[in-house]
Structure 1
Amino acid sequence: MDPTEDRNVARAAKLDTATLSDALDKLGIAGQCYRIQGRDPSFRMAGRAWTLLYGPAGNPPGTVGDYIDDVPPGSVIVLDNGGRDDATVWGDILTEIAHRRGIAGTLIDGVCRDTHLCRKLGYPIFSKAHWMRTGKDRVQVEATGVPVNIGNARVAPGDLVKGDCDGVLVIPRAHEDRVLETAEAIEAAEDRIRAAVRDGMRLDEARKAFRYHQLQAREAA
C-alpha cells in the first residue's frame, strides 16, 4: 500500500506515544520499546515496520547488509541487533540514502553512529544510544522480513511503528484499529478535561465528569 494512502499510519502520526501507550495498557497489549529514544528530541516518525535481524559475525563474517534499496518508501526500518551497544549497524551512508528515498525512519535495538547527519537532515533515528565503532566483522544479517525484538517489544513486518520525543512503540497489525480507536477516545476525553478546567471547573471535578481515572484502566478480558 502507498504510505500516503495508509489511513492508520496517518491516524498514528496524529497521536503522541504517551496516548498510544495508555491505549496499549488499557487493552493489555505490550508494545512500548523500553529505553529506545530518538537521537534528537525533535524526531517524529510513523510507518509500517520493515524488519531485519542481526547476529554475531561468523567465520568468515557475513555482511552487515545492503538492503536499503529494497525498503519501500514510507517504511520504518527496524533493526534488531540484540540490544548490542558495542557495535553499530547504522551510519551516515544509510542515513543519506534512507532520507533521499523517503523512508519514514529507523528503529534500532542497539546503537547507531554519525548522528550529526541525521540531525542535519531531520531523518528520524531511534536507538538505545550512539557510539562510533562499526559492526563490520562483528555482526551480520541473519534474516529480513521476520519478527524481531526491539526494547522487549515484538515487532512483526507490517506492524505500525510510532516514535516521538517520549520514545517509540509498536502496534501489532492485528490490533491496530482497536488501539487507535482507544487512543483517539483517550485524547478526546483529555482535551475535554483541559477545556473544562480552562472554563473554570476544578480539575478533580473535570476528571470525574469525563471519567479520567477509567481512561487507562485495563479492560476486562
Structure 2
Amino acid sequence: MTDLTERLERCYTGAVYDVMRERGQENCVLPPEICGLTPQTRVAGPIFTLRGVAFDTQRDKDADYLLPWVRFLSEAPAGHVVLCQPNSGRLALMGELSAETLKSRGVRGYIVDGGSRDNSFICELGFPVFCRFRTPRDIVAKWVPDATGAPITIGDVLIRTGDYVLADFDGVVIIPAEIAEEVVAAVETVMSEEDKVREAIRAGRDPVEAYLEFGKF
C-alpha cells in the first residue's frame, strides 16, 4: 500500500484520467468545484470515507454534538486520505484543530464535498485539504457524522474505503481498488512516453513528427 501510494503521488491527474478513460472508467473525476486550498496542494493515497447529516434546525447546544466528530478524528487511519460527503452546502467540515489532529495521526489529507474554515491556519500547517467552498460556519449542533468506511457518492462518482485518490491543481480522480495497481503502472508508462515527446519538442522536432513517432501529445 505504501509503495503504491508513493508511486501514485508522483503521477498527475491528467495522466490518470487518460488511462482510466482508455479502460472505460472515465467517470472518475470529482466535481471541479472541489479544489485545493492552494495551487500547490496535492495528495494521494488509499481512501477512508466519512458521511454525515445536517440538521434542519439548530439542536440543543447543551448536547455534546462534537463528540461523534472527535470519535471520527480518532478512527481515521494513518496513511489514508479522508473523503467526506457531508450532505451539507452551508457548513465547514474541516478546521484548524481537526486538521492538526489528523496530520498528527498520520492521515495524508482530507477531501470534502462541502466547506472548510480556518483555512489560512491549515495552509500554514501544510495539511492537504480540498473543499467545495470556504465558510466560517461550524458544525456545532448542526451536523453529525452518520457513517465511516461506508460507500459514498460525490457528484456521480462512487467512492469506497480502500479505493485510491489523487488530487492536484487540476482536480480529483478516484481509482477503484481492484485496478489501482495496473492503472498506476500504466500511468507511469504514459509519463515516460510523454517525457520522450517533451525532450523531442525541446530539441526542435516538429510536433507532428514527435506525435507520429511516440503516439502521445
TM-score by length of 2: 0.88
Identity %: 26
1 CA distance for matches of 2:155 and 2:186? 23
Quick one: which of 12, 18, 29 aligns to 1:32? 29
Q: Which residue of 2 aligns with 1:191?
A: 195
* 1:1-221 map, 5 Å: 6-29=2-25, 30-35=27-32, 36-57=34-55, 63=66, 65-66=69-70, 67-82=72-87, 84-212=88-216
Residues 92, 139 of structure 2: 8 Å contact kept:
yes
2 CA distance for matches of 1:27 and 1:184? 15
In the TM superposition, residue 20 of structure 1 has moved relative to its aligned partner by 0.9
Q: Which residue of 2 aligns with 1:219?
A: none
SS at structure 1 position matched to 2:39 = coil
Bigger shift: residues 136-145 or 43-52: 136-145
In the TM superposition, residue 97 of structure 1 has moved relative to its aligned partner by 0.8
SS at structure 1 position matched to 2:86 = strand
Runs of 4+ in 1 over 6 A off after TM superposition: 58-61
In the TM superposition, residue 172 of structure 1 has moved relative to its aligned partner by 0.6
**1:10 aligned partner, one-letter code:** E
Structure 2 portions without partners, runs of 5+: none
2 CA distance for matches of 1:44 and 1:33? 14
1:97-116 Cα offsets, whole Å, 9 max, x none, are: 11222210001011111101
1:66-93 Cα offsets, whole Å, 9 max, x none, are: 21122222111111113x3311221111
TM-score by length of 1: 0.87
Structure 1 portions without partners, runs of 5+: 214-221
How many residues are aligned here? 208
2 CA distance for matches of 1:152 and 1:132? 27
Q: Which residue of 2 aligns with 1:218?
A: none
Residues 54, 86 of structure 2: 8 Å contact kept:
no
Q: CA RMSD in A?
A: 1.9
In the TM superposition, residue 147 of structure 1 has moved relative to its aligned partner by 0.8
SS at structure 1 position matched to 2:122 = helix
1 CA distance for matches of 2:159 and 2:143? 20
Residues 95, 122 of structure 2: 8 Å contact kept:
no
SS at structure 1 position matched to 2:195 = helix
SS at structure 1 position matched to 2:107 = coil
1 CA distance for matches of 2:99 and 2:175? 24
